[in-house]
Amino acid sequence: MNGKPVVGFIGVGLMGWGMAKNAVEKGFPLRVVAHRKRKAVEDLVARGAEERAGAAELAAECDIIVLCVTGSPQVEANIAEIRGRARPGLTIIDSTTADPGSTEALAASLAEDDITLIDAPLSRTPAHAWDGELTTYVGGPAAEIERIRPLLETWASAIIPTGGPVGSAHALKLVNNLIGIGYAAIWSEAYAMVERLGVPPAVLHEVVTNSGMTCGNFQNYSKYVLEGDNSAHKFALANCLKDLGYYSRLAAEHNAPTLVSDGVLQLLKIGVNLGHGERYMPEMVEIVRALHPQD
């Protein structure tokens, strides 16, 4: 043993694989739950991790369990399995983009069993996860954040405490995702519009690139429109819809206006209903194109 806590990892998908890879390579004893993506599990085992059948098996032997799953229903289901066999003192780090209300309720309930829940959602891309250069925002007591910081540092180069309670990081993540998804909707509408005007998309790209609106988000998004490369941001439109649904619920709880987010939410609903849910975020332009096809 190297003195580091035993870490369990649930969810070795696009982001989780890189995160888990960095944890085990940087010396944390790692247990990983069986996953449909066998390539990720087998790679992690080859790097020194041990595979376990499910969440309950992790709970029996881990000091920290990391969740990086699809949404709150999956978080809740895994925690239901974990808490039945967890030892007192277990810490659960939830890196999922989740519903803050669910997170708050889970944290309060788990505390009764001496289990700590910390929300630490992520920004950036799977490539950044692989390189250990994610950004994570973390909610909860400062002392708890510092205790888990060495693990977070294996996959995140920027760790930003929210200064608020558990759940606040998940709320901040939804605001951040509104910005990213909202920009994608703007670029989508703009590119589709210039096509309708008969202007080549490359001309709009040059105009924006030479203006105050140029940014990394625009340049990455444009790779799909200009080159057919959808890999700049591997985040499915179905997940965009899920996140904006959570944001809409959060805004309603705070009686906040949602003039912009409502429009983007409706665009995503239409896109998913048209069968675009598995496309990545840079492909949002296909939804707008479908709504006003060229004559």
**Which is nearest to 151 in space by CA: 7, 1, 3?**
7
In a domain, 1, yes or no: no
- Residue 111: give the domain boundaries: 7-165
Place of tokens 């780090």: 93
Asked whether residue 133 falls in the same domain as residue 152, the answer is yes
The answer to whether the CB of 124 falls within 8 A of the CB of 155 is: no
Burial class (CB in 10 A: 0-12, 13-18, 19+), 122: buried
Asked whether residue 111 falls in the same domain as residue 208, the answer is no
Last residue of a domain, one of 102, 131, 165: 165
CA atoms of 189 and 36, how far apart (whole Å): 36
Model confidence at 89, pLDDT cuts 50, 70, 90, reads: very high
Digit-coded pLDDT (tens) for 212-226:
999 999 999 999 999
The answer to whether the CB of 68 falls within 8 A of the CB of 140 is: no
Asked whether residue 118 falls in the same domain as residue 182, the answer is no
As a whole number of Å, the end-to-end CA separation of the chain is 68
CATH number, domain of 46, equals: 3.40.50.720
Asked whether residue 187 falls in the same domain as residue 64, the answer is no
The enclosing H or E element of 206 equals: helix 201-209
Digit-coded pLDDT (tens) for 235-287:
999 999 999 999 999 999 999 999 999 999 999 999 999 999 999 999 999 99
Digit-coded pLDDT (tens) for 148-171:
999 999 999 999 999 999 999 999
Asked whether residue 14 falls in the same domain as residue 129, the answer is yes
For residues 68-84, give the mean pLDDT: 95
Last residue of a domain, one of 165, 200, 219: 165
214, β-bridge pairs: none
CA atoms of 176 and 62, how far apart (whole Å): 31
Last residue of a domain, one of 165, 182, 199: 165
pLDDT value, residue 292: 78
Asked whether residue 149 falls in the same domain as residue 109, the answer is yes
Asked whether residue 127 falls in the same domain as residue 25, the answer is yes
Helices and strands (DSSP H and E) totals, the chain: 13, 9
Count how many residues are written for the chain.
295
Asked whether residue 23 falls in the same domain as residue 110, the answer is yes
CATH number, domain of 276, equals: 1.10.1040.10
Name, in order, each residue with C-beta under 8 angstroms of 168's C-beta and a sequence gap of 6 or more.
100, 119, 139, 162
pLDDT value, residue 87: 86
Asked whether residue 42 falls in the same domain as residue 182, the answer is no
In a domain, 199, yes or no: yes
> CA distances (Å), 136 to each of 121, 151, 169, in order?
6, 12, 9
Asked whether residue 102 falls in the same domain as residue 199, the answer is no
Q: How many domains does the chain divide into?
A: 2
Asked whether residue 115 falls in the same domain as residue 180, the answer is no
CA atoms of 166 and 101, how far apart (whole Å): 10
Asked whether residue 160 falls in the same domain as residue 219, the answer is no
- Give me the chain's average pLDDT, please: 95
Model confidence at 293, pLDDT cuts 50, 70, 90, reads: low
